[in-house]
Structure 1
Amino acid sequence: MLKTEIGLEDVRRAARLLEGRVIRTPLVRSPTFSRMAGAEVYLKLECLQTGGSFKVRGATYKLLRRREEMGTGGVVAASAGNHAQGVALAARAAGISATIVMPVWASAGKQEATQGYGAEVILAGDSLAESISVAKRIAGDGRLFIHPYDDPEIITGQGTMGLEILEDLPDPDVVVVPIGGGGLIGGVATAIKGLKPETRIVGVQAAACPSAHQALREGRRVRVEAKRSIADGISVKEIGEANYPIIRQLVDEVVLVEEEEIASAVLALLERKKVLAEGAGAAPLAALLASKVLVPKGGKVVLLISGGNLDPPLLERVIRQGLMKNGRIMRFSACIDDVPGSLARLLGTVAEEGGNVLSIHHARGGLDHSLFRTRVELEVEARGFDHIDEMREVLEARGYEIVVR
């Protein structure tokens, strides 16, 4: 059996040190998702953690363990978002300075949040790996560098979630955890397997960046090409060196989810549970609802909702895509006579059928219709695909030529 750098007692020590310094996040049962999955589904709401994600656990533990080794310069880290905020919060609580290197494409919202927690932000690097290299150079002047995932103490701090899960639910059959660099699942698996070795640990990655999935398939760490993903928090091209042996030994399976599945899960959490989760945090639910995680009928499954830091512009796009995929938005165009009353009659028909107009646009002067007609493009709120079909049938029966987008 592989020997890893951390164990259950290390995680227990971290939990004692973090008590009162981080939030003990709730574990809640979801009746809706339980019915949908045919199992008892529980959500570990780490999106309610200070800073909006689990990252503050590992960062705080790292600082507490290394406080005496730090010089006057404080700490340096690299991150595109959640780790940046976790380190900034931990440094502020410890009364030390923090410098965070973020990729040049990091969202303005995450930059502002990190600065708001008291850290200095430096934009450098076209990738997280480049930002990490810059941060390490800055740390060469005596400051402590805090890696976002490839660090035994970071892994240990994240593992305290596993202890909390078992304290609230002593006998889970499956625990589903998102994987990026591997620090979160490495710590959680260490804690849970140390106490309940029969519990299955399932990792979830976006298919757009399957680094852990590929590593387990090939039996070694590999660097993969990454496509853009709404689960940017787990878009890590190569899992950590310290994390790989833990994942190989303790994680039972790694599954992949597609972008549409993640977007649907974000929307489902928001609508059904009033929980705002970022793409990475919603990935476990995406895997469950897509039947990619095997759970015994009536069994107990815990989904680790790792964070809720979803930028508003992306949230808007995710919601819109999810609504369209679920038949909640009908987008169509129709040609009408360009005379008073024509538009009112069209909108009246939509209203009679229970459709709510979200947006409307006149497209005059097109080559596909005469000078005396105009094309109207509408987005209409619907109750589902059956409702869309009903509205389309009525509109066509009244003489409208409908083109559904």
Structure 2
Amino acid sequence: MTTRPQPATVRIPELAEIIEAAERIAPYVEQSPVLELPLGLPGKRILIKDEGQNQAGAFKLRGALNAVMSRARSEISNGVCTVSSGNMAYAVATAARNAGVPMAAYMYAHAPQSKMDGVRANGGEVRVVSDETYWSYALGHSAPDTDWAYIYPVTDQAVITGHASIGLEIARQVPDVDLILTPYGAGGLTTGAASALHRLNHKAEVVAIEADVATPVTAALRAKQPVTVPMKRSFVKAIGAPTVIEGVWRATQELVHRSSVVTLAQTTSAMRLLFDKAKIVTEGASATSLAAAIHDPTLTGTILCVLSGRNIDAADYATVLQGGIPE
């Protein structure tokens, strides 16, 4: 049986839907904390919101839980599956364990070992596919042939609505925030957070952050349409793609009008700073938000940096702490 087709595009969820999702996932996801980093940078008050402190170590548990828990039991009883380079796989495995159903993740062979281990530790199955197949699934060009419920990590409406719960938290925790910096991978975190703030009529601007190894949303915002960009493989695996995913682009374009790009050196420096100043472990993608806050002079005011996750291989993290940039 072929998996059901995913919707062509996601819509901006209504406020009532976001509140319902937040209530649905609340038993499994505690509100993530907000801390201030007193860095003494002129014109910048920098706050961090650490999404790595949940069961799956990343913000994606929000969308994964909402997608699994909102489905009819009959739909997920055979099992649930997803495609992911790591964090969504880990998150869906965690959600499936909480729901008591089987789970499988389609991942490429060079996905971070820590994330593969996280899937298996939660009872999930890792199904390794070629890079070509992975990107076909990830960009929504095709889907696995299975009778399990397929949770597409980007244009599944329940995923985006679950991710939007972070925007509700931010509005409560930091009502005077000016800028919210979010690492931009597939677009779920950025678009989800921006959706909630849009529905709340909040003044804060959400900024998409990318590493310079792949900048599809920066290019798309400039061109006002999806374009293909060069992509270099790096240790920053949770963000970066050859293009934005068209199914989420329409919402992103409506809600997000600004991006910032950081280097790998700036990213690893931010990772070390987070450990030194706050004893927070982050993966590369997660630290790009803080790197942008520090290094982009156009970002000023009260800035909240969302730290998207902490799932990094031990060897890579050791290299970062020693002052290097992992391969």
- TM exceeding 0.5: yes
Identify the residue that residue 367 of structure 1 maps to in structure 2.
none
Matching of residues 213-292 of structure 1 within 5 Å: 213-292=218-297
Describe the superposition over 1:147-167 as per-residue Cα deviations: whole angstroms up to 9, x where unpaired: 122322211111101101111
CA distance in 1, matches of 2:199, 2:76: 36
Change (3 A) 1:20 1:290: same
Structure 1's unaligned 5+ residue stretches are 324-405
Counterpart of 2:37 (choices 19, 27, 30) is 30
Counterpart of 1:304 (choices 302, 306, 318) is 306
Does residue 321 of the first structure (1) align with residue 326 of the second (2)? no
CA distance in 2, matches of 1:267, 1:276: 9
Give TM-score scaled by structure 2 length.
Answer: 0.90
Describe the superposition over 1:133-180 as per-residue Cα deviations: whole angstroms up to 9, x where unpaired: 8993233xx211111223222111111011011111112111111101
Tell me the amino acid that sits aligned with residue 12 of structure 1. I
CA distance in 2, matches of 1:38, 1:71: 50
Tell me the amino acid that sits aligned with residue 69 of structure 2. L
Tell me the amino acid that sits aligned with residue 129 of structure 1. W
Identify the residue that residue 4 of structure 2 maps to in structure 1.
none
The Cα of 1:314 is off from its aligned counterpart by 0.9
Does residue 10 of the first structure (1) align with residue 17 of the second (2)? yes
Larger Rg: 1
Q: Secondary structure at the match of 2:228?
A: coil
Counterpart of 2:56 (choices 44, 51, 55) is 51
CA distance in 1, matches of 2:77, 2:198: 39
The Cα of 1:301 is off from its aligned counterpart by 1.2
CA distance in 1, matches of 2:83, 2:142: 6
Identify the residue that residue 129 of structure 1 maps to in structure 2.
135
CA distance in 2, matches of 1:23, 1:186: 21
CA distance in 1, matches of 2:93, 2:49: 23
Change (3 A) 1:269 1:71: closer
Does residue 201 of the first structure (1) align with residue 203 of the second (2)? no
CA distance in 2, matches of 1:138, 1:72: 17
Matching of residues 4-403 of structure 1 within 5 Å: 4-31=11-38, 33=39, 35-36=40-41, 38-68=43-73, 70=75, 72-126=77-131, 128-130=134-136, 132=138, 136-139=143-146, 142-295=147-300, 299-321=301-323
1:151–1:242 Cα contact (<8 Å) kept: no
Tell me the amino acid that sits aligned with residue 275 of structure 2. L
Change (3 A) 1:138 1:166: same
Structure 2's unaligned 5+ residue stretches are 1-9
CA distance in 2, matches of 1:84, 1:136: 15
Provide runs of 4+ in structure 1 moved above 3 Å: 130-135
2:293–2:303 Cα contact (<8 Å) kept: no
CA distance in 2, matches of 1:228, 1:37: 35
CA distance in 2, matches of 1:134, 1:194: 31
Q: Secondary structure at the match of 1:51?
A: coil
Change (3 A) 1:135 1:93: farther
Describe the superposition over 1:359-383 as per-residue Cα deviations: whole angstroms up to 9, x where unpaired: xxxxxxxxxxxxxxxxxxxxxxxxx
Describe the superposition over 1:14-34 as per-residue Cα deviations: whole angstroms up to 9, x where unpaired: 112112121211111222x3x
The Cα of 1:293 is off from its aligned counterpart by 4.4
Change (3 A) 1:223 1:134: closer
Describe the superposition over 1:267-318 as per-residue Cα deviations: whole angstroms up to 9, x where unpaired: 11111111111111100111111125421xxx32110001011111111222
Tell me the amino acid that sits aligned with residue 19 of structure 1. A
Give TM-score scaled by structure 1 length.
Answer: 0.73
State the structure with bigger RCO (CA 8 A, min sep 6), 1 or 2.
2
CA distance in 2, matches of 1:4, 1:170: 25
Change (3 A) 1:72 1:5: same
Q: Secondary structure at the match of 1:42?
A: strand
2:260–2:296 Cα contact (<8 Å) kept: no
CA distance in 1, matches of 2:142, 2:224: 30
Q: Secondary structure at the match of 1:242?
A: helix
Q: Secondary structure at the match of 2:299?
A: coil
CA distance in 2, matches of 1:52, 1:293: 30
Tell me the amino acid that sits aligned with residue 259 of structure 1. L
The Cα of 1:58 is off from its aligned counterpart by 0.3
CA distance in 1, matches of 2:112, 2:142: 18
Tell me the amino acid that sits aligned with residue 217 of structure 2. A
1:102–1:121 Cα contact (<8 Å) kept: yes
1:287–1:293 Cα contact (<8 Å) kept: no
The Cα of 1:229 is off from its aligned counterpart by 2.7
